[in-house]
Structures are given as C-alpha cells and as structure tokens.
Amino acid sequence: MYSPNTPLSSVRAEYDDFFYSSHIPNHVDISHTIIHTVPVDMLEPEVAAANRVILYAHGGSFVAGSCKASWNLCASLANECACKLFLPEYRLAPEYPFPAGLEDIYTVYAALLKEHSFSPSSIVFAGDDAGAALVTALVHYLKRKELPLPAAVVLISPWLDVSCSAEEITALRKKDKFLLKESLQAAAGRYTAADNFHNPLVSPLHGSFTKFPQTFIQCGEAEILSVDAQELARKIEAAGGSGQLDM
C-alpha cells in the first residue's frame, strides 16, 4: 500500500522486493532474449506442449513491476499449464507513457505469430493489475485492426478503468488492505492524460466486447479492483461471449 506521495523509486524497489523470490518453483527454466528491442524472459517447464504458449504482462500500475518480480507466479502458471510463457519487460511510465507499454506487448505478440510460428489459436493472453489492462487493451487493438485474436484471455485482479470512478469502489476502500484508490489514480496520471482515461486502449472496460475471446477473471471479493472484474464479466456476457469470474 503506497501513498500517492511515495517517491516512484521507492515504489519500484519495494514492489520488486515484495514479489521477487530467488526460488523458481517446479524446476522451470528461465532464459532471456530481445524481441525487436523488447527484453523478454522465456519460462519453460520440464514438460511443455509445443502448440500452446502464454503471453503474460506483469502488474505494477503501469509505473512499477518487473519480470523478476513476476518469475515466481509465472513459473507456477507455466508449469500448471504445461507450456512456455513469454514475459516482456515492457516500458514503464512516466518515462514511457501510453502507448509505449501496449506497443511492447503487441511487438511480442506479433513475433510469436510471425517468428515463432505460433498460431493465434494456441496463444493465451494473461496479466495482472495493469498488465491485465494491457492485454485486454491489446485485444481491442487487434479487433480494431482486424488482426488475429488469441484463443483466450486470463486476468488476475484486473485494473480496467484507470479513472477508478465507479461508486462501488468507495464501499471497498476500507476492506482492501493492499491498494489505495488515490495511489492508482496518481499512477494513472503518470501513464496518460486525464482526458485520455476513457480511451479503450487505456481503460479497456470502455471498449466493445463483441466477439471477445473467452475470458477467465480471478479477483478477491475485498479488492477495489473487483468492481472492474465484475463489470468486465457482465459486459462480455452481455455481448454474447464467455466471461467466467472467480471471486
């Protein structure tokens, strides 16, 4: 939990210290590469299907987070899904505001299709917090450009409306012991201008969910981000898609 006035350097250091673990579970191998200027960690479990891959965007409210802070979670995910996982070190705000991070995630997705020869039907987008926003926004971008969509989307505690303006958030503020509405809003201001908050590529909750890939959403009941999670599931179902919510 951070105050909006906490120095960004402290936020980044404490975030990595909190989530980083030198122990990589299940003997998952981690290698490093560069995909068109984007640093990417590739996690491969001992048993990995050749026709399935996860593209994962880490959390950190667009301004913090890193690959190493996500190794433990992503290694477990790769092992359980028995497939490779690509984890981009996308650019962070405010040094690189919107759309830099989204462009980096798209670059890696395009490379998975063209250079690694994965079919769209074998790729799953996944992410947590702001990373969930990035992969959801990427689906909107792909639809807009009539480009191939992934097979599915998996979102963990998704932050999908950066304005945090939903009234229901107020009722959850005292229950959520990890996230502060004001801190999220401050991070959003570092990511993009306030008059861009309702852009579907920034706040993907405001996009169209017609023909959206099947989506699994996981979130805690006491999280302020559960408001976005529930609204996303509702919108996907209303558009005729499959949005499964686990709270």
The tens digit of pLDDT for each residue in 157-190 reads 999 999 999 989 988 877 887 888 999 999 999 9
HEC profile of 11-64? HHHHHHHHHCCCCCHHHCEEEEEEECCEEEEEEECCCCCCCCEEEEECCCCCCC
The tens digit of pLDDT for each residue in 38-83 reads 999 999 999 999 999 999 999 999 999 999 999 999 999 999 999 9
Q: Kindly report the average pLDDT of the chain as a whole number.
A: 96
What pLDDT score was predicted for residue 21? 92
Q: Give bridge partners of residue 217 from the DSSP assignment.
A: 155, 245
What pLDDT score was predicted for residue 103? 98
- Distance from C-alpha of 230 to C-alpha of 228, rounded to nearest angstrom: 6
Q: Phi, psi at residue 153, to the nearest 5°?
A: -130, 135
Band of residue 2 on the pLDDT scale cut at 50, 70, 90: low
Query: Does residue 6 surpass a pLDDT of 90?
Result: no
- pTM value? 0.96
- In three-state secondary structure terms, 204 is helix
Mean pLDDT of 10-31: 94
Band of residue 150 on the pLDDT scale cut at 50, 70, 90: very high
- In three-state secondary structure terms, 89 is coil
Contacts of 146 (CB under 8 A, 6+ apart): none
What pLDDT score was predicted for residue 1? 59
Band of residue 13 on the pLDDT scale cut at 50, 70, 90: very high
Query: Does residue 102 surpass a pLDDT of 90?
Result: yes
